[in-house]
């Protein structure tokens, strides 16, 4: 950890800052997110001549952008974190099951993976959102969890199959270890690092999916907000109040780029070992 490149240090700093904002959004926000200030509509951020009342300016209804962005960070990151972890757990479990038990378990999971591969993720998410209630945060998180599961399933399956053929696993068998002990105490710890790195590589794409769906108006629904919702609401004002798009956009960029860089860096380190 000593030889961390400066870019990675900055990225870690950014992620910590964002996490802080997500946790303490309610405390940090200067205004309630639904407080309208119709006299102060389209107030520019302070760095392009706005007043200190609204540090990041206001939107078309005079709502404080800083407060909304904080809430947006909270919602977007929470959804992405739960979705990523959920997808990783779901996928890894299925992948391990299919690798360890041959026969019908393997066949069924294999067909599921095959099937998932034929439908692009966004399209599947859209199809699910057509049949499920849309303005429901739980449903939305479920959709995010389903998204990307097959990547972990493939990865876990491949890693576990590979491990099964390897001497260190066979050695455990010869020593008398049970299947559960081998999978949970020998195989899983050995590729946990790979799974975690893949989570950090997939995390940005989960944020991307959430913000994209919210932007398109079929994700997080107003009155609640997320970074994608904010941009979707701001796009009509791209001419007269560009900050309503650029500020939440910049936050998304910082989050996804920082995590991507960390993920890439971590993967390179693992590959070197």
Partner 1 sequence: MNWILLRTGRALLTLLLLIGFSFFVLSISGDPALSHLSADVDASAIDAFRRKWGLDLPLWQQFFIYVRGLFHGDFGMSYATGRPALEQIMAGMPVTVSLMLPTIFAAIGLGLPLGAFAAMRRGSTADRLTITLSVLALAVPNFLLGLMLMYVFSVHLGWIEPSGIVDWRSYLMPVATMALPMAAIFARFTRSAMLEILSHPMLDTARAGGLQPGRIKRAHVLPNIAVPLVTITALEFGHLFTAAVVAESVFGWPGTGRLLIDSVASRDFAVVQAILLLTGTTMILANLLADIAYGAIDPRVRDQRRRRVKA
Partner 2 sequence: MIHPLLTVQGMDIAFTERVCADIGFELHRGEWLGLVGESGSGKSLTCRGLIGLLPEGAQVTGQMTYGDRVFDLSNPQAPARLRGVEIAMIFQDPMSALDPLMTVEGHLKLRGRADGADLLRQVGLPDGENLLKSFPHQLSGGQCQRVALACALARHPKILIADEPTTALDVTVQAGILRKLRQLTDKQGMSVLFVTHDLGVVSEHCDRVMVMNAGRIVERGTAQDVLRAPKAGYTQNLLRAIPTPATRGRRLMSATPSEGEMSAASLRQPAEVALSLKHIRVTYQRPNGQRVNAVDGVSLSLRSGEILGLVGESGSGKSTVAKTAVGLVHADGGSVELAGRPVDWHRPQAEWRRAVQYIFQDPLGAMDPLSRILDQVRTPLDIHDIGQRRDRAVMAGKRLAEARLDPALHRKKPRMLSGGQRQRATIARALALSPKVLICDESVSALDVSVRAHILDLLMDLRAQTGVAILFISHDLSVIHHLCDRVAVMRGGRIVEEGDTAEVFATPQHDYTRALLAAIPKMPERDIGTLLQGESA
Which of partner 1, partner 2, none sits in contact with 123, Cβ below 5 to 8 A by type? partner 1
Which of partner 1, partner 2, none sits in contact with 115, Cβ below 5 to 8 A by type? partner 1
State yes or no: residue 190 binds partner 2 (CB under 8 A): yes
Assign residue 41 a region (left: φ > 0; alpha: ψ between -120 and 50; beta: otherwise). beta
Count Cα neighbours of 214 within 13 Å in the Cβ-side half-sphere: 32
Minimum gap (Å) between residue 176 Cβ and partner 2: 4
Q: Which residues bind partner 1 (CB under 8 A)?
A: 111, 114-115, 117-123, 126-127, 129-131, 204, 207-208, 211-212, 215-218, 228, 231, 235, 238-239, 242, 245-246, 249, 252-253, 256-257, 260-261, 264
Q: Pick from 227, 209, 215: which is nearest to 123 by CA?
A: 209
- Residue 142 or 218: the one with the smaller Cβ distance to partner 1 is 218
Which of partner 1, partner 2, none sits in contact with 38, Cβ below 5 to 8 A by type? none
| Tokens standing for residue 10 | 């900055």
State yes or no: residue 186 binds partner 2 (CB under 8 A): yes
- Residue 51 or 173: the one with the smaller Cβ distance to partner 2 is 173
- Residue 176 or 223: the one with the smaller Cβ distance to partner 2 is 176
Which of partner 2, partner 1, none sits in contact with 257, Cβ below 5 to 8 A by type? partner 1
State yes or no: residue 176 binds partner 2 (CB under 8 A): yes
The DSSP line for the chain is -TT--HHHHHHHHHHHHHHHHHHTHHHH-SS-TT---GGGTTPPPGGGT--TTSTT-B-TT--BHHHHHHHHHHHHHHHHHHHHHHHHHHHHHHHHHHHHS-SHHHHHHHHHHHHHHHS-HHHHHHHHHHHS-SS-HHHHHHHHHHTTHHHHHHHHHHHHHHHHTSHHHHHHHHHT--HHHIIIIIIHHHHHHHHHHHHHHHHHHHHHHHHHHHHTTSSS-TTS--HHHHHHHHGGGTTT-THHHHHHHHHHHHHHHHHHHHHHHHHHHHHH-
| Tokens standing for residue 261 | 């860089």
Minimum gap (Å) between residue 110 Cβ and partner 1: 11
- Residue 39 or 130: the one with the smaller Cβ distance to partner 1 is 130
Which of partner 1, partner 2, none sits in contact with 242, Cβ below 5 to 8 A by type? partner 1
**Interacting stretch for partner 2, rule CB under 8 A, among 65-73, 175-183, 205-213, 224-232?**
175-183
Which of partner 2, partner 1, none sits in contact with 181, Cβ below 5 to 8 A by type? partner 2
- Residue 1 or 123: the one with the smaller Cβ distance to partner 1 is 123
Residues that bind partner 2 (CB under 8 A): 166-168, 170-177, 181, 186, 189-190
């Amino acid at each position: 950890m000593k030889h961390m490149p400066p870019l990675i240090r900055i990225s870690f700093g950014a992620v910590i800052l964002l996490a802080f904002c997500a946790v303490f959004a309610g405390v940090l926000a200067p205004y309630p997110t639904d407080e309208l200030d119709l006299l102060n509509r389209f107030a520019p951020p302070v760095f392009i001549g706005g007043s200190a009342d609204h540090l990041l300016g206001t939107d078309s209804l005079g709502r404080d952008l800083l407060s909304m962005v904080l809430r947006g960070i909270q919602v977007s990151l929470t959804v992405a974190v739960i979705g990523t972890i959920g997808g990783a757990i779901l996928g890894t479990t299925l992948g391990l099951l299919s690798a360890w038990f041959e026969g019908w378990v393997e066949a069924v999971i294999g067909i599921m993976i095959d099937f998932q591969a034929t439908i692009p993720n966004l399209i599947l998410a859209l199809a699910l959102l057509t049949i499920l209630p849309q303005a429901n945060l739980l449903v939305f998180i479920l959709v995010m969890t389903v998204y990307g599961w097959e990547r972990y399933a493939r990865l876990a399956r491949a890693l576990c199959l590979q491990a099964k053929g390897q001497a260190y696993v066979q050695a455990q068998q010869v020593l008398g270890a049970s299947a559960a002990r081998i999978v949970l105490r020998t195989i899983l710890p050995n590729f946990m690092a790979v799974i975690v790195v893949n989570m950090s590589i997939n995390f940005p794409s989960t944020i991307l999916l959430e913000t994209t769906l919210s932007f398109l108006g079929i994700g997080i629904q107003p009155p609640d907000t997320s970074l994608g919702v904010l941009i979707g609401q701001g796009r009509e004002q791209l001419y007269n109040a560009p900050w309503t798009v650029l500020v939440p956009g910049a936050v998304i960029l910082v989050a996804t780029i920082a995590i991507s860089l960390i993920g890439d860096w971590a993967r390179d380190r693992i590959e070197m070992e």
